[in-house]
Amino acid sequence: MKDRRIAVSLLVSLAVLALNAAAQKPDATTQVIEGIESRRQAYTNVALQIWKFAETGFQEVKSSALLEAKLAEAGFTVQKGVAEIPTAFVAGYGSGKPVIAFIGEYDALPGLSQEAAPEKKPVSTGAPGHGCGHNLLGTASMAAAIAVKDWLAASRREGRVRFYGTPAEEGGAGKVYMVRAGLFRDVDIVISWHPGDSNQASASSNLANISAKIRFHGIASHAAAAPDKGRSALDAVEAMDMMVNMMREHVPQETRIHDIITSGGAAPNIVPEFAEVYYVARHPDMRVLDGIWQRIIDAARGAALGTGTTMDMEMVGGVYNILPNAYLADLQRRNMQKVGGIKYTGEERAFAEALRRTMLDPGLPLGSEEVIQPPETHVTPASTDLGDVSWNVPTTEFTTATWVPGTAAHTWQATACDGMSIGIKGMLLAAKTMALTGLDLFTDAAHIQKARAEFDRRRGDVVYKPGIGDRKPPLDYRKAE
């Protein structure tokens, strides 16, 4: 009898110990968030290194190598140089289904060099800078992918985590070449984010975009002694610009057309035998934009005909508008609310106040960085090659307040925030939000099914066709900048 009581007592003690151990073991949400927090300094170092590298599209040699190395150290298998792009890569872990992908970008913008200071102060005048926060974008997505990978390994679940290293988002359409290469063909859900001045997850869209460099070839001659012998390539550029400017009255009002003359001749006393103009056109619907772009090219052909020159064209990029997914956006928003907004220290608030004094119209008030904004459905007046991904795989994107409220993208103010603690705090909020969304997708297949159903309904009978055709990636489109 005594032995039996001892045995029962031992069993009870073991049960209590097991319950206590279970109670002390962190749940998946806590595990993932703590995993990211434990590497806070390491991720900060990566983001700031990429900020200092400040490499433009398809030139991100050091930035991509750094991310590749960190993912390999974390246990991912890395495929480098995919889609005929030396700085594009795919890192993967696991087996089976589902396949959940995180998107990373890391290209900088020309001319936006800036110190992490609240007054305009370039590190190097005219040099590139991270005025769109891609140093944070790539690092946060990597942090989320690693956190989900660690959880997947510890829980011994089936499924695959992928990180897509996507270069040249700024005008180079790097993701479009990766989509065309079939690299997203087996992916179930794509999770992404973007730096911004607010915390928000919405089912919004943006503008489709087509860009090209149009070159005219004429005949050089002495502009005073023999002008009749010359045919001016610059005249062709100016004639094209005039025709496109007249066309602006006769396109849908949502259309945006921008251009710069990248080459206009060598000297005013020489009739220019070569000139080049770089055009970008946008519209919320790629089908409409295709027709507008054809009219722009017809204007170029007419300009060449009328000036006795010839023209050719190098396509730089062509990206679709984002196909929104409200179900996934809601999932991201709920996870962002779990993590919470951004809290400034006294020093950060002083930085923010000083930076806002340099803005014409700050818009959002200081303090809004602490709030998760309600969802809004709108068309953002910008473009991204993530749009092409979204027409092939259910995709979600959100923003966090990596910038002082009121800061616009592609400004020195954004570059300043992206290189200091305010940007880092927004980056970590994004990493945790994406990681928690990844957990949801791995633990409940219904999320993927519902997101896919919405994707199929919104896409309808549209057949995706890459706007880049069969062209090779323009690896040198930023080399001169």
pLDDT at 304: 98
pLDDT at 134 over 50: yes
Pairing of strands 189-191, 77-80: unpaired
* φ, ψ for residue 258, nearest 5 deg: -130, 150
Half-sphere exposure of 157 toward its Cβ, with a 13 Å CA cutoff?
Answer: 21
Pairing of strands 194-196, 399-401: parallel
* Least reliable range by pLDDT among 19-23, 192-196, 361-365: 19-23
Q: Is the dihedral of CA 436, 440, 441, 443 positive or negative?
A: positive
Q: Note the residue count of the chain.
A: 481
pLDDT band per the 50, 70, 90 thresholds, residue 363:
confident
208-319 is classed in which CATH architecture? 2-Layer Sandwich (3.30)
What element of type H or E holds 99? strand 99-104
Integer angstrom CA distances of residue 343 from 39, 340, 400: 19, 9, 12
Query: Closest Cα to residue 412, out of 57, 118, 50, 169?
Result: 118
pLDDT band per the 50, 70, 90 thresholds, residue 382:
confident
Reduced to 3 states, what is the DSSP secondary structure of residue 174?
helix
In this prediction, what percent of the chain has a pLDDT beyond 90? 88
Q: What average pLDDT does range 423-433 have in this prediction?
A: 98
Extract the tokens encoding 260. 């710069």
pLDDT at 316: 81
pLDDT at 22: 43
Q: What average pLDDT does range 389-416 have in this prediction?
A: 97
Query: Closest Cα to residue 369, out of 344, 392, 334?
Result: 344
Pairing of strands 395-396, 159-165: unpaired
- Is residue 349 classed exposed, middle or buried when 0-12, 13-18 and 19+ CB atoms within 10 A define those classes? middle
Q: What average pLDDT does range 424-450 have in this prediction?
A: 98
The residues pairing with 358 across neighbouring beta strands, listed in sequence order, are none
The residues pairing with 214 across neighbouring beta strands, listed in sequence order, are 277, 313
pLDDT band per the 50, 70, 90 thresholds, residue 21:
very low
pLDDT at 378: 85
Q: Where are the alpha helices (DSSP H) in 61-112?
A: 61-73
Q: Where are the beta strands (DSSP E) in 116-172?
A: 159-165
Order of strands, sheet of 99-104, starting from the edge strand that comes earlier in the sequence: 77-80, 89-95, 159-165, 99-104, 189-191, 395-396
Distance CA 427, CA 398 (A): 12
Reduced to 3 states, what is the DSSP secondary structure of residue 45?
helix
pLDDT (tens digit, 9 = 90+) per residue, 367-380? 999 999 999 888 88
pLDDT band per the 50, 70, 90 thresholds, residue 394:
very high
Q: What average pLDDT does range 14-43 have in this prediction?
A: 75
What element of type H or E holds 263? strand 256-263
Q: What average pLDDT does range 295-312 have in this prediction?
A: 98
pLDDT at 151: 97
In this prediction, what percent of the chain has a pLDDT beyond 70? 94
pLDDT at 317: 80
pLDDT at 67 over 70: yes
pLDDT at 469: 84
pLDDT at 477: 87
CA of residue 239 relative to chain centroid, distance: 35
pLDDT at 281: 96
Average pLDDT of every residue of the chain: 94
Distance CA 382, CA 391 (A): 17
Q: Is the dihedral of CA 168, 170, 175, 180 positive or negative?
A: negative
Q: What share of the chain is helix, strand, coil (3-state, %, to 5)?
A: 45, 15, 40
> How large is the C-alpha radius of gyration of the chain?
26
Q: Where are the alpha helices (DSSP H) in 345-420?
A: 346-356, 386-390, 412-418
Distance CA 291, CA 277 (A): 20
* φ, ψ for residue 437, nearest 5 deg: -65, -40
Domain 29-206+323-459 maps to which CATH number in 3.40.630.10, 2.40.50.140, 1.10.3720.10, 3.40.50.720?
Answer: 3.40.630.10
pLDDT (tens digit, 9 = 90+) per residue, 177-200? 999 999 999 999 999 999 999 999
pLDDT at 481 over 60: no
Find out whether 305 and 298 touch, Cβ atoms under 8 Å: no
What element of type H or E holds 288? helix 286-307
Extract the tokens encoding 53. 């590298």
Integer angstrom CA distances of residue 149 from 185, 369, 439: 21, 29, 10
Residue ranges covered by each domain of the chain: 29-206+323-459, 208-319
Q: What average pLDDT does range 93-109 have in this prediction?
A: 98
pLDDT at 11 over 80: no
Half-sphere exposure of 380 toward its Cβ, with a 13 Å CA cutoff?
Answer: 22
